Structure 1
Amino acid sequence: CEREQKRSKNFSKEEDELLVSAWLNVSLDPVQGVDQSRSTYWRRIYDYFHNSKTFDSDRTQSCLMSRWSGILHYVNLYAGCVSKLEARNQRKNALRMFKSDKQHRNFPHLHCWEKLEDKAKWKNRSNQSGTISKKKQKTTTNSSPAAAAQLVVTANGEESQAAMPTVDRPTGKKKEKDKLRPCSNIEALHYLLVKKKEADKEKDLKKEERCQKAFAMQEEKIRIKKERNRNEEERIRLEKDKFEFDRNLEEERIMNVDASTMSTKQQLLYEQLKNDILARRMKN
């Protein structure tokens, strides 16, 4: 998003404040709460931002995430200064203390801090962060206010963890989920029944498809067998016709032979052949 911001204008005060409002409101949903994935969580923040804006803004989801990471870093540092000075009743000097640290020039997100500081979600998050980092803070009692604030950031882990706070659920969330649980069980049972019916239907379709394929293969085998039989019958018929044709030619030759020049035996032989030919033809 830093590259995107270099190509586009910087975030305005209105955009920062709306992003803070989105972060504060999204996870306060009585049912959704923190029980959602990082991508779903930030998709809801993105939707809240663009559905609630009253100004032109085309910030992407990744851009909003990156901006929130920067805001969170500086606000945590400033919160550390405020915490230090509240113990001394010198809260008005928090900005001066923040700027006095060599690592900081100014606090660019005061408008964000003013929206966050009195919200229950922010306080719960800060309290939890303070509990986690208590042991580390014991070893840094002489460190600067900025260093103490940095421990809050370190205890929170990376920005993705801060964006998904594990705070106590708002009042009414458990009751809301308890109300929904019977419905969820019924819906789950209905879902399983629907899936079973779909699986059975698919199984029946596959079985029918296999039967149809087997039937088609059997029909194809019968067709091929019949085709082979027809071809064989045709071959036999052609051979028979050829035999008859050749025999007729030979018989015609015998019937037309002039036996007058032959010997007596040859004449008797051809005479017998001619008689056999005539007898067969008369019979047919």
Structure 2
Amino acid sequence: MDSQVQGDVSFIDLLQGDAEMDNSFLDESQQASMSIDHSQPQVVTARTKKPQRGTNFSTEEDKLLVSSWLNVGMDAVQGADQKHRQFWERVHKYFHEHKEFPSDRNYGSLMNRWSTIQKSVTKFTACLSQIEHLNQSGTTEHDKIQKAKCVFRSENNDVAFPFEHCWNLLKGEQKWLHHGNKDKRRRRSSMETSANVTHTPDSINEGEGDNVSHGNNVDFERPIGRKAEKANRKRKERPSEDVVEFMKKKTECLEEARVQGEEIIRLEKEKLQLEQKDREKIMDIELKKLHLQEFELQQKMDMERQKLQAEQMDREKIMDFERKRLHLQGLEREEKMDIERKKLQSEQLDREERTMILDTSKMTEVQQQYWKARQNEIKECQESRKST
């Protein structure tokens, strides 16, 4: 029996811890501790029957869940005196009323998913706070976030931060900041008293229904209550003379501001006109300067062109002179070659004539045959020259 009671207490403490993290907007002085009821079928079912795991949450579902938690929690009229279950039933209703994608998440699935998101985002916020406290110069906001991701990974068994899309929605919301500071104070108080207090089943205060205890040691400024919010709305619905006077003064201030604004605009226009005239004068001077530079450049180009033309003419004269000189040299070479050719021909004729009139009577028979053959060759050559 004692072991069963201890098991029920552990399960209820777990639910109580999640409820305290979720319902930071509730009035702490009106909440009581969750009671132990061994006859509750819900607790027995949760301990004995393990629910089947559904599909993973998508990014759109996470964002809508965070938006639902913020919107339901920040409703000043309805969000102050809610029980834990009532709060999550309203979150479940808001989720399914505003979804734009297929989803059949139930009450418990949304609550468990928020617990996972809350735990991970809280750890990442602590990592980012450590990086910001270092106050490193030259570090941008993006650099701090990247370093915080590295710290988160190193402190969570090399697991990356998976809920940056949720953190981006929560980081600037007053409800989340109030919730995070409140959770820090609760943990600090728990650490201070855990060494001296032993938790037993008898030490757990009994409450009613699903109310969740949040402790009484938080001195944060509580959000506006339901009655105050209703009173504010009634005052807005019934304008009084103070409101009329205020609107009159506001109208006068706006008119004065409009006149001042028009005067400022007029002065700005005059200033812009003067600046425009100065710019036009400067542009005119620069334009004249550019024209002058262009004229000087054109003159230089003309002079260079004339110089190149003169050099070209000189080169053409030199080349013409060289061509004539080479032509004369060729003629001289041809004349010399013609003279040499005629000289060789004359010598050839002289040798042939001497060969033809050579007396072979006193020669041997072999010599006579040789010279006879030579004479025949000469005759053939002479005939061939005559024919050509």
TM-score grouping bracket, smaller chain normalisation: 0.3 to 0.5
**Structure with more relative contact order (C-alpha pairs < 8 Å, separation 6 or more):** 2
TM-score w.r.t. length of structure 2: 0.36
TM-score w.r.t. length of structure 1: 0.48
